[in-house]
């Protein structure tokens, strides 16, 4: 029987990672986000920082141009994708869990019994939240959000050919700004 897995896609700053962690904690199952990143790093031999960035750049963008050979054969981003694909599949086959980001919804679509969740919120909520959680930066929070979202959407589109944030790709989408983090956790927990 396939394992029950919660996959969470999320807009930057919407609290998707917090929701994933808390849901997993309350359900007593593991949650993979940074842990997953580290596993991928170990296996692929890339540095963690590089992976974090590459995970949000679609191939053909900035990083792949700098780091990849321009000739034939898979580039770094494609190699990373294949490692990520394998690790996510193995995690989901091992036990029920929560996986945040990294196109897990797409990767697992025939491999696990997924509850596919998307978390979003309006700009004001997210701007306030990223300053609280990640601190001030030179760029305005709005600029940081727009850039991150753009990258995530492009990455998702490139590898899955599905539109990020389209309701029809998920079992449930939640506005953490209007509903609040607690209610999002409760709803996902009850559905699981």
Give the interface with a copy of itself as residue ranges (CB under 8 A).
Answer: 11, 118, 120, 165-168, 170-175, 178-179, 183, 187, 190-191
CA distance 6 to 108: 10
Which residue is it, tokens 């999002």? 184
Q: Which is nearer to a copy of itself, 85 or 192 (CB)?
A: 192
Q: Give the number of other CB atoms < 10 A from CB of residue 191.
A: 12
Q: Which is nearer to a copy of itself, 12 or 81 (CB)?
A: 12
For the bound state, the minimum distance from the C-beta of residue 183 to a copy of itself, rounded and expressed in Å, comes to 7
CA distance 71 to 69: 5
Q: Which is nearer to a copy of itself, 88 or 114 (CB)?
A: 114
For the bound state, the minimum distance from the C-beta of residue 127 to a copy of itself, rounded and expressed in Å, comes to 15
For the bound state, the minimum distance from the C-beta of residue 10 to a copy of itself, rounded and expressed in Å, comes to 11
CA distance 174 to 151: 21
**Nearest of 181, 189, 190 to residue 16 by alpha carbon:** 181
């Amino acid at each position: 029987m396939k394992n029950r897995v919660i996959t969470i896609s999320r807009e930057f700053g919407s609290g998707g990672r917090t929701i994933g962690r808390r849901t997993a904690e309350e359900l007593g199952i593991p949650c993979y986000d940074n842990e997953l990143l580290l596993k991928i790093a170990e296996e692929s031999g890339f540095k963690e920082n590089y992976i974090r960035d590459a995970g949000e750049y679609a191939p053909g963008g900035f990083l792949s141009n700098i780091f990849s050979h321009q000739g034939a054969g898979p580039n770094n981003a494609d190699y990373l994708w294949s490692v990520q694909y394998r690790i996510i599949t193995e995690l989901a086959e091992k036990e029920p869990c929560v996986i945040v980001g990294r196109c897990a919804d797409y990767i697992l679509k025939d491999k696990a019994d997924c509850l596919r969740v998307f978390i979003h919120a309006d700009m004001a909520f997210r701007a306030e939240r990223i300053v609280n959680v990640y601190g001030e930066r030179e760029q305005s929070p709005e600029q940081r959000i727009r850039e991150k979202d753009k990258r995530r959407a492009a990455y998702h589109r490139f590898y899955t050919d599905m539109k990020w944030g389209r309701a029809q790709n998920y079992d449930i989408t939640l506005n953490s700004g209007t509903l609040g983090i607690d209610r999002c956790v409760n709803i996902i927990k009850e559905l699981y």
